[in-house]
Structure 1
């Protein structure tokens, strides 16, 4: 086997020797030029250019050699310009250089003199250009031919008969310039494609890498075309684009097709792309299956999106040419033509189309939903997506939120939740967080039970256990942040109509109760407090003489729902939290003058204390909460208050530590003597407790 290091060392030796040959012959060429010896100058320049006949160098090394030679040719070109003004005519020089012995040096010299010939205007530019581009066919070696034609393009690009150019005239038209560049481009592309067949199959990967390094030589022709002022939309539509696309499709080379399609999109104006969209898109399904079409087509849609965003005045053009329908149809054809295209590729295309649609047709929600539906059809049956595809789905779903700044709009898209179904559990949570953050950022109020139900169905990844194992593996801080986001969302739900607000509360309850024991402590409290706000609002309306209270939206009905909800929380178990919520509800019932309801909440709190709270510190904290809440109650009659007060005193006396007992019983003493409430002045018991202390 040949060592790669050895090949590199040999290449360096060959390059060094070739450069030395160029330098030596260039020295003699300069000496001949100084003495106005044209014959010797041509002889040594031909010998210098013969170094470019080598087949031993890689494209990278050959480029270095080519640059050395082309630098010397520029000096020779200057001499030819001066010489044509003195003793030797340019026509004679043009004939003279064709006597060079080898074809490659002869053609380089011919291109150099041809450049001066065009500049002299002694012959029509189109005839000289045609002659040069045809003669270059004599070099069929791919690497040498590419660099020769690149040199031809370089020396002629400022001498094309363009509109406003000094070379334009009766005999020279823009079509001549276009024809020359297109012909040179076609021949260069053929040479570039042929490079893949040179050498053994084992070196295919190396050859593709080398070909990739040479792509700019071919692409420069398209850049030259784009700079020709005389190419208007009609000429581009009728001649330039069809000819270029024909060459790209017919070459059947994936590297060339990918690069050249991208070149077209990058170098020609956006307006031209829009007006020739059907022709351009028609080429995509004809490309090789291995071509990365998604990247090129996404790039086209990105450029058109930017063009649409640049000025509102161009939007009618998009509607006139039916850009959305054409792009949507093209994507469908590309996906159909490439059945092996990965899901990631298809989703990327639809994501780019959605971005385009949001820029051009922001008011057409039906277009947005149509794109999501097409995406669902493509990924149907694939199961949960993973990797790159999930990132594209998140981008797809995030785009409408960023554009409309309103979750209400996203909820109108029937296919939106269907797309989310294909996300794996972890990505589903990421997307759910994106939705919640959008709501928070824009302070969106979800004001109907129907919308709340749709929203909570969307973010179910944060509300219910989709995968218990994923929650166990999740970082505790991340989990807490997620659930706190859900809690803040619940607090934002609001409707002025008590009836509708009650429906919202019931809808939220139905969804959050599907959460596991880790979630309920985060999600139930905000629901309870939101419901208590509704109760106080209803009570305030009643106090103001409002008669709009309905049969369902009553404090009593809402307290019943809250009691059921807290009961679920008490089984998690987080008894201390459940006890706090029972006491909060009891105090709210007190404000509504609902004694039986308040008594029921206290009873539940006492049961929870007796059965679930066993830690001594937790008992002390719970007792102080009970005592403090009971002291603020004014709704209880003598019998109910007496029962609750004695219970609290009994619990205090049974605390584990004596100091805790003393403090708790002392706190209970105030329950027997409250100055601002009639009938709560049990002097005997108050004296007994005070005396005890």
Structure 2
């Protein structure tokens, strides 16, 4: 009996559905016959559909009504003969159908037990397009102009959206309004549309709705410059900013990421529509700071990414970090970031500057810039230093070093202020950072010194001007700080660079001081034998290029160089350093530095050390080492012989050649193809000089090979 009743009910339901659809089709045909005004027929059809209160059946029935009546909706321009319908009748029909469909759609959530609520919500979500099609139809009616939309359509739709108090319906319908109606309409009715946002349920994702609205308006502004005055006229920025503030205030439980996302969208809109209004940009940043102030450092990864996007937007828009430096709230937003995210944003800033080849040319801007990137130039979080990735750290510090090279001003006074500002910041970087950041600062200062070479610093004025002496004093203090953080080799190199610059400026006391500091570092800090060899050769090379020293200072420095050369740990290193010192006493391009006797003394001393090395090798290994050192000394003899040193004679060269030949023919000498080839090349060179003739041929003539 129950099965029979259920079967009868199913048949009855299907018959009702068929009858309803038949009535709708009949109404459609009747409208086409033009025997009655379309508005009356449509009104009757709407009333007929009210009899179906089952949510799903009612939705599909009204959706079918909207479909069959779509081409019957008349606008002001299309009239049948004797027709009395207007566009307002069409609008009223669609609005009534939309209202009833939305009520049915919302009612679906209350059909069925609680345990199937999730399933019902999924079904509701799948049926949402049935309701939204009504708004799509409204947007396509030609007669719906801005006036009708502003006075009738939008208020009625928003009233239904707010009153339904359903999260899914409110979110979908607000998004639908934004997507289907023209951008021009949104702009002219912005205040009305935004006024509904704070009235939505607290669980509605208003940030996405507003973000999409601002995205559409941004694209509309970018489509033509002719529409920009409209944005100014309606005060779009002020209305959007106010609406966002009200939404955030109303939704007290809105996550930080949601609030920041709204400010990102507002900033994007501002940069598209009002790029010249930096005060608007700063206002958005200030509002974000206000929201974040008083809260602990962000831990939400999504919120961090949103803030990075917020701070990156002005850089991408203006392609000029200098513009961002003028925004007073920019540093305050940076302060809201944790240590790691602060470093990420600092790298974005530096990369922007390098990409656009931006020159920061004032000390004030440098102060702001280095305050922004402080996460890279000093430890903000001591607990994070132990977890540094070496490769990432090197990349970060190399980026800072490249940035320092981009700080420049043609005015010497301002450039000195820039150098002082940079120095103040990087000196707090610690022992790990200074080896990366000090060298570029030193070379920037040396570039300033070259520019100031002609100034003597005797200018009288209220403020002491930038002079080489003043810069050198700053350099000395800076390198001294570097030498105290376990980078003596680097500090020594920088001292020598400064000494050469002082030489070019004809400042003998300054150059001597830098050499003195270099020797002190060598004696007290450079302990590794290989590092000592490298450092000593650097000192000798730099000293050779000096022409500022008087006899007394030069003798003191050369004496130190030769003394340290003879004290190196390994005999071969001693030999090479000693014969390198011979160049300190014979410099072609400087008058008065041609002391042939001391050159010969250095070479003879090197020869004794080489012979000692051979004897040690013979005693320890039972055979002599290669003759490479002797061949190298022979080449030094030949060099000074060609330069005209009277102390270097052909007989001395002949004796050295015979010594090398005997050593090579000795059974106790270790064969070495490299040494043999080196000696053979030297002999060929002597033969070439003899065959060349002229003065040089006569000088090389007595040498027998």
TM-score (norm 1): 0.83
Q: 1:630 to 1:182 in 2, by over 3 A?
A: same
2:271 aligned residue (345, 355, 358): 358
Q: Is the 8 A contact 1:162 1:168 kept in 2?
A: no
Q: Which has the larger displacement, 620-629 or 153-162?
A: 153-162
Is contact 1:159-1:167 (8 Å) kept?
no
Could you say which residue in structure 2 is the equivalent of 1:576? 489
Is this contact kept in 1: 2:343–2:373, CA < 8 A?
A: yes
How much does 1:469 deviate?
4.2
What residue in structure 2 maps to residue 318 of structure 1? 231
Structure 1 residues without counterparts, runs of 5 or longer: 1-17, 22-46, 55-101
1:461 match: 375
* Offset at residue 548 of structure 1 (A): 11
Please list the CA deviations of residues 355-403 of structure 1 after superposition, one character each: whole Å capped at 9, or x if unmatched. Answer: 1112222222111111111111111111212311111111111111122
In structure 2, do the counterparts of structure 1 residues 134 and 155 end up closer, same or farther at CA, with 3 Å as the change threshold? same
Alignment root-mean-square deviation, CA: 2.3
TM-superposed deviation, 1:234? 0.5
Cα displacement string for residues 266-310 of structure 1 (whole angstroms, at most 9, x for unaligned residues) = 000000001111110110000000000000001111111111111
Residue number among 31, 39, 45 corresponding to 1:132 in the alignment: 45
Query: Does structure 1 residue 188 correspond to structure 2 residue 108?
Result: no
Alignment of 1:459-608 (within 5 A): 459-540=373-454, 551-608=464-521
SS at match of 1:516: coil
Higher CA-based Rg: 2
Instruction: Give the deviation of 1:352 after TM superposition.
Output: 1.0
Q: Cα distance, 1:167 vs. partner?
A: 5.4
Q: Distance in 1 between matches of 2:478 and 2:442?
A: 8
Report deviation, 1:169: 5.8
> Could you tell me how far apart the structure 1 residues matched to 2:87 and 2:268 are?
38
- Residue 698 of structure 2 corresponds to none
Counterparts of residues 278-677 of structure 1 (less than 5 Å): 278-386=191-299, 387-540=301-454, 551-677=464-590
Unaligned runs of 5+ residues in structure 2 are: 1-5, 608-705
**CA shift in 2, pair 1:652/1:103, >3 Å:** same
Deviation at 1:546, TM superposition (A): 11
Q: Does 1:177 align with 2:90?
A: yes
Q: Distance in 1 between matches of 2:73 and 2:589?
A: 103
Larger mean Cα displacement after TM superposition, 580-589 or 514-523: 514-523
DSSP 3-state at the match of 1:138: coil
1:76-113 C-alpha deviation (Å, 9 max, x unpaired): xxxxxxxxxxxxxxxxxxxxxxxxxx533221111122
Separation (CA, whole Å) in 1 of partners of 2:11 and 2:551: 116
1:260 maps onto 2:182 in alignment: no
Distance 2:268 2:32 in 1: 49
Distance 1:168 1:607, change over 3 A: farther
Q: Secondary structure at 2:204's aligned position in 1?
A: coil
CA distance, structure 2, for counterparts of residue 167 and residue 661 of structure 1: 113
Tell me the CA shift for residue 468 of structure 1.
Answer: 4.0
- Counterpart of 1:219? 132
Structure 1 residue 314 displacement after superposition: 0.7
Number of aligned positions between the proteins: 600
1:250 matched to 2:177:
no
Is the CA contact (8 Å cut-off) linking 2:455 and 2:467 kept in structure 1? no
In the aligned structure 2, how far is the partner of 1:427 from the partner of 1:51?
A: 66
State the alpha-carbon separation in 2 of the partners of residues 117 and 279 from structure 1: 39
Contact 2:362–2:414 (8 Å) recurs in 1: yes
What's the counterpart of residue 691 of structure 2? none
SS of 2:453's equivalent in the other structure is helix
Please say if residues 376 and 397 of structure 2, whose CA atoms lie closer than 8 Å, have aligned partners that are also in contact: yes
In structure 1, the residue matched to 2:679 is none
1:334, 1:292 → 2: CA distance? 11
Q: Structure 2 vs 1, CA of residues 230 and 51 (structure 1 numbering), >3 Å: closer, same or farther?
A: farther
CA displacement, residues 146-185 of structure 1 (integer Å, 9 cap, x when unaligned): 1111111111111211244465964111111111111111
SS in 2 for 1:466: coil
The 1:52–1:598 alpha-carbon spacing in structure 2 relative to 1, beyond 3 Å, is: farther
Shift of 1:673: 2.4
SS at match of 2:431: coil
Distance 1:339 1:125 in 2: 49
Secondary structure of 2:452's counterpart equals helix
Distance 2:82 2:265 in 1: 46
Residue 202 of structure 1, CA deviation:
2.2
Could you tell me how far 1:629 is from its partner in structure 2? 0.3
Distance change in 2, residues 1:630/1:602 (3 Å):
same
Q: What is the TM-score normalised by the length of structure 2?
A: 0.82
Whole-Å separation in 2 of the counterparts to 1:538 and 1:52: 103
* Offset at residue 477 of structure 1 (A): 2.2
1:32-181 map, 5 Å: 53=13, 102-165=15-78, 170-181=83-94
C-alpha distance in 2, partners of 1:51/1:553? Answer: 101
Tell me how far apart the structure 1 counterparts of residues 10 and 385 of structure 2 sit (CA, whole Å): 72
Conservation of the 8 A alpha-carbon contact between 1:464 and 1:515: yes
Deviations 1:339-368 (A, max 9, x none): 111111111111111111122222221111
Q: 1:189 to 1:350 in 2, by over 3 A?
A: same
Distance 2:278 2:431 in 1: 39
* Match in the other structure for 1:73: none
Q: What are the Cα deviations for residues 9-58 of structure 1, in whole angstroms up to 9, with x where unaligned?
A: xxxxxxxxx9xx9xxxxxxxxxxxxxxxxxxxxxxxxx9x967958xxxx
